Chain A
Amino acid sequence: MSILPQTLVDGLVTGSSYTLLALGFALIYSISGFLNVAHAEFYMIGAYGAILVTGAIGGAIFGAAAGALAVTVIGGALLYSIVLRRLNNQQHMAAFIATAGVGMFLQYGTARVLGVREREFPQIAATRGIDLGLVNVSPAQLLVIVVTAIFAALLMQWIRRSTMGRDIRAVAENEEAAALVGVRVRRIKLITICVATALAGVAGVLLGNLYGVLTPFVGSEMGLNMFVVVLVAGIGSLGGVVFTGLALGLVQALSIAYLGSQWQYFAGMIVLLLVLLVRPQGLFGRRLRSG
């Protein structure tokens, strides 16, 4: 039997997780002009938040979601208030260094407080596959794909259709001009950054459930793939980030299936290199658009 259908499903699952994370990263870059190197660590602290809250009050999926969202939204608000708000738009290197520091603080702080050993994630959807003939899909995998699709669609509609989405696009394009038409720039930045980190928290719940275990260092690998997605897509098009996230997942899955697992990340890097050679601004690069 052909392994292609199963490979495509696996690729979609991996790609969906990259997409959720990369959407938030792209949002923060668009609104602030800063590369939030710590973004993948919000995925990790979101997953730990889910473990702690479900451990304390139970509630499976709702407890996990509440824990992850609470930790990542508060974390996002602190990231903006303590770090990013103090930097002006030209201080890119300072922002890079500061957020790298925040990332390390989150990673090693979590390791110090909660330990480095693997933690079991509470199961919110079964990870055992269901045989559908051509493919074997688990409810946990389906949850990753469906939730990512819903959140990506909601995010794009919010940015495109809502008044706040218009304000976000205004700030992303020209912060001063936005202030001159009455947009409360700091408030919009704070909300956008909290939404972005919350998306990372959602990814934490979905992938924590899928993989079943967690360490404080899971963010590093995800962070690398998130960077590849955003660099290939180019900053500015959320639709482009979704397409590229899914495409990278598929490329990696196909590489594992047909070339061997050692090719998984190398294939992504080759795609990145080729795109940057031909289109340095990325496939869809320009200022923030919803499409």
Chain B
Amino acid sequence: MAEQPMPLWEVFIRSRTGLAHRHVGSVHAADAEMALQAARDTYTRRGEGLSIWVVPSAVITASDPQDKDALFEPTASKIYRHPSFYRIPEEVGHM
């Protein structure tokens, strides 16, 4: 019987200290439930996680590296968009 390659899933983990889920890597799994378990077993072995998301890699639409200049270059000259000119009061916390 011909073996079918298992789909790839992207893994996002929200850590104990983190505010948002962060991409940590990928796993192979036959379906979503097994992907979640594989992600747990592969990426939370050292107490890293409080929450896991898995997303089929195939549904992610990525930008083309060749478009790098057109997409990202124009922002380089707009330093006034960086909030580094303002002092943020400490009480505000994370922005």
Answer whether A and B are interacting partners.
no
